[in-house]
Structure 1
Amino acid sequence: MTTYETASETDVTDLMAGKQITLDEMTVELAAIELRLRQLARAAEVPDTPVELADTIDSLRATARSVKETGERMGLLARVVAGDVPLARKFGGSDDPWGVAARTSDREDFGGPAIVPTQWQLLKLAQDAKRADARGEETTTYPEAMAGLGIGWESKAASARRRRERDAAVAVEVLTIPCATCQAGDGEQCRTKKGWAAEQPHVGRQREAEAAVDARLGYLGDMPVPVPDAR
């Protein structure tokens, strides 16, 4: 199902001091949300109208607990990326490196090099570091392992969002281009030989629309070009 972002949803400037949000900022914001949910649950115990809100109160408190767990995880990750938490140099039970060291590796069993680790991989590496330290093995830190990486990097979520935005722009652009196959004009959908309207345009029209949008948005084929200031 297609989802559309509202203007309020995209206005995130108050969440961050710089151009991008830090994990530390996420941690504090989540703590504030968790507290607000608990306060709302408490206030809901005494509504101004006699309505029993027990189920809603329980739901609010359950959501607050989930947000708290996420916030605590972000707090630990904030310490990890700051270099305060030792990390294993390789994934437990294997010789597979990560970060800069994974650039030249071939981790076929794990779907490719973990150059940019996931949050779960980082938490696992923190756990593995404790065992490595007990064995007298060297550990590393996030800043050390990721030194030189990050320029032009974009998260999967951001890339997927930009892909949706691109596809939506193409759908609009298609209707501005006459179709050489069925002669559909400006604002008209393509039609079959029998004259039935179709939401899927003919290939030539679709290709022309994609080329125009990609040039405007800065895409190269199916992949976006490096994102300025991305990390």
Structure 2
Amino acid sequence: MKDTHESAAEENTTDLMAGKRITLDEMAVELAGIELRLRQLARAAEVPATPVELADDIENLRRTATTVREMSKRMGFLARIVEGDVPLAAVFSGTNAPWGAAARGTDRTDYGGPAIVPTEWQLIRLAQDGKRATAAGRETTTYPAAMDGVGIGWESKTAQARRRRERDAAVAVEVLRSTCERCSAGEGEHCRTKNGRVSEQPHTGRLREAEATVDARLGYLGDNPVAVPDV
């Protein structure tokens, strides 16, 4: 289970955004600030208060700062894309496969399904293709136009995975709050095998009961959230 103190700290993100969700522009600015802080820390580490050679850590800090700077620039470019400032190709080059709202109902097995919600790298590629399309006089689109109506209730794969881990952790706690009808394990006790050995794998009935309780509390339907607030 995750450390609760660390989890609480990670969840405190209100100072990073003006609204309910962080914008790409806010991410770009925050990352630029982190890059500067890392470089300042590397510079300060050149002359620590006690004689300890920190050359390796200084180099690592500067390498990390370079990576963060690249991310900041990418977020800044993506911010321009989502604002509609950058022309984008209407389809993926080489496949003529649509994306965004136009990809609804399409079947692109070779690409794992339609790219209704494009990745950052797909957007950058679409921007590159859009630049060439503009020069050739071909049709282009913009992110707002292509994504019109897409995103209501959307949740990233990373957020889904995190919510799944949180759900599984809650189920593990809930299991020990109930008794097991199969092996008579009481509250706070793990289930036991037929030969009396302790097992961290609960019997199916006890697990099912815990899952139902947690899912009702968290708003889940099986493995999936019933609804993601549109904020």
Mapped partners of 1:226, 1:99: distance in 2: 21
Contact 1:166–1:213 (Cα < 8 Å) also in 2: yes
Q: Distance in 1 between matches of 2:148 and 2:206?
A: 45
Counterpart-to-counterpart distance in 2, 1:8 and 1:206: 30
In the TM superposition, what is the alpha-carbon distance from 1:186 to its structure 2 partner? 1.3
Tell me the C-alpha RMSD between the 2 structures.
1.1
Q: Which amino acid in 1 is paired with 2:226?
A: V
Pairing 1:114-153 to 2, within 5 Å after superposition: 114-153=115-154
The answer as to whether partners of 1:177 and 1:186 remain within 8 angstroms in 2 is yes
1:135, distance to aligned residue in structure 2 (A): 2.4
Q: Which whole-Å CA distance do the structure 1 matches of 2:2 and 2:189 have between them? A: 24
Aligned to 1:35: 36
Q: Tell me, in whole angstroms, the C-alpha distance in 2 between the residues paired with 1:39 and 1:175.
A: 48
| Deviation sequence 1:88-141 (CA, Å, 0-9, x none) | 000110121000000021111100010000001100100111122222210000
How many residues align? The count is 229
Q: Which residue of 2 aligns with 1:109?
A: 110
Task: Return 5+ residue gaps in structure 2 as ranges.
Answer: none
CA distance in 1, matches of 2:187, 2:37: 50
Matches within 5 A, 1:192-203: 192-203=193-204
Q: Give 3-state SS (helix, strand or coil) of 1:6's partner.
A: helix
Report the residue type matching 1:115 in the other structure.
I
Following the alignment from structure 1 to structure 2, what is the Cα–Cα distance between the partners of residues 200 and 80? Answer: 48
1:43-76 per-position Cα deviation (integer Å, ceiling 9, x unaligned): 1111122222211111111110000001100000
Distance 2:193 2:103 in 1: 51
Structure 1 residue 6: Cα displacement = 2.8
Q: Which amino acid letter does the alignment assign opposite residue 56 of structure 1?
A: D
For structure 1, list consecutive stretches of 5 or more residues without a partner in the other structure: none
Q: Which moved more, 1:40-49 or 1:21-30?
A: 40-49
Is 1:86 the counterpart of 2:87? The answer is: yes
Task: Using structure 2 for the length normalisation, give the TM-score.
Answer: 0.96
- SS of the aligned residue for 2:98 comes to coil
Does structure 2 conserve the Cα–Cα contact (< 8 Å) formed by 1:153 and 1:226? no
Secondary structure of the corresponding residue to residue 226 of structure 1? coil
- Which residue does the alignment assign to 1:209? 210
Which range moves more in the overlay, 173-182 or 189-198? Answer: 173-182
Match of residue 169 from structure 2? 168
Report what 2:223 is aligned to. 222
Residue 3 of structure 1 deviates from its aligned partner by 4.5
> Match of 1:6?
7
CA distance in 1, matches of 2:138, 2:226: 40
The 3-state SS of whatever aligns with 2:95 is: coil
Give, in angstroms, the shift of residue 166 of structure 1.
0.4
Query: 1:6-37, CA deviations, whole angstroms, 9 ceiling, x for partnerless residues?
Result: 32221111000111100000000000000011
Distance in 1 (CA, whole Å) between partners of 2:62 and 2:31 is: 14
The residue that corresponds to 1:186 in the other structure is 187
For 1:23, the aligned partner's letter is: L
Q: How does 1:12-23 map to 2 (within 5 A)?
A: 12-23=13-24
